[in-house]
């Protein structure tokens, strides 16, 4: 019961901290909606049916929100708590590293879900976006994508010795990943060698493929490869996080 209370307290503290982080709020709630309008109003040709294009763009921008949390949100939280010696104080308690990471993960999952809900509401009201597939299947894919990306990028707080270093590493990773994974630019518009030899090895690429397929109603059998890859990424991320986690 004490462990559960500590887990809840850690999650609540992380949610309160998130509300005081303007950069995190921007990338979770404002930037994705801004990108939605930019893509739909600037880059989509006038003759293209926007009610069709929006259903291809939506899942990509959802992955943008997940990636923002995975690359910035969770790592920044861990590094910040380590710098103020909060993790060091927890070291003497029965809380395990996985429980701590779980608390951070749950808080960021809630925030990510809210960001995606806001994006979906705007897309439905403004551009008539429609989920063609199963809602439960899509939610399951969202959870898998979140867990996989959050896990694999947990190496950032493991190698960063300060908050400034963590921010620098996250920025170096974030924008190339967004451009080469199909989030900002569809894979079929990238040079073939980039899509084949770079994009295929970025976990975010497979999250985009999975959520696009589920949103558009593709059979689960057609998405088996993406699901297996993301499961592998999840397991690899957990192993790396467990080995690189530092209390101080």
pLDDT in tens, 30-45: 999 999 999 999 988 8
CA distances (Å), 118 to each of 10, 29, 37, 52, 245, in order? 25, 7, 14, 20, 33
pLDDT in tens, 168-199: 999 999 999 999 999 998 898 999 999 999 99
Q: List the one residue out of 33, 42, 44 whose CA is nearest residue 186.
A: 44
Please report, for the chain, the start and end positions of each structural domain, with discontinuous segments joined by +: 2-244
Token representation of residue 53: 């294009």
- As a whole number of angstroms, the distance between CA 207 and CA 220 comes to 14
pLDDT in tens, 193-209: 999 999 999 999 999 99
Which residue is it, tokens 């809840």? 8
Q: What was the pLDDT predicted at 243?
A: 84
pLDDT band at 136 (very low <50, low <70, confident <90, very high): very high
pLDDT in tens, 93-114: 666 666 676 777 788 899 999 9
Q: How many beta carbons lie within 10 A of that of residue 175, not counting itself? A: 11
| 10 has a pLDDT exceeding 80 | no
CA distances (Å), 99 to each of 46, 53, 223, 242, in order? 50, 41, 31, 11
């Amino acid at each position: 019961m004490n462990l559960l209370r500590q887990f809840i307290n850690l999650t609540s503290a992380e949610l309160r901290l998130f509300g005081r982080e303007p950069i995190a709020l921007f990338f979770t709630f404002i930037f994705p909606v801004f990108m939605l309008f930019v893509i739909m109003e600037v880059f989509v040709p006038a003759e293209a049916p926007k009610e069709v294009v929006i259903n291809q763009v939506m899942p990509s921008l959802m992955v943008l929100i997940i990636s923002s949390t995975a690359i910035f949100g969770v790592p920044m939280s861990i590094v910040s708590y380590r710098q103020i010696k909060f993790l060091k104080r927890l070291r003497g308690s029965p809380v395990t590293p996985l429980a701590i990471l779980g608390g951070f993960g749950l808080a960021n999952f809630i925030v990510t879900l809210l960001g995606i809900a806001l994006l979906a509401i705007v897309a439905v009201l403004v551009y008539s976006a429609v989920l063609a597939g199963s809602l439960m299947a899509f939610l399951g894919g969202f959870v898998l994508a979140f867990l996989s990306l959050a896990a694999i990028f947990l190496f950032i707080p493991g190698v960063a010795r300060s908050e400034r270093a963590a921010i620098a590493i996250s920025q170096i990773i974030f924008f190339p990943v967004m451009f080469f994974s199909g989030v900002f630019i569809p894979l079929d518009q990238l040079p073939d060698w980039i899509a084949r030899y770079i994009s295929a090895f970025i976990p975010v690429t497979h999250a985009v493929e999975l959520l696009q397929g589920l949103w558009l109603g593709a059979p689960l059998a057609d998405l088996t490869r993406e699901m297996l890859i993301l499961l592998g990424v999840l397991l690899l991320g957990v192993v790396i996080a467990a080995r690189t986690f530092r209390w101080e």
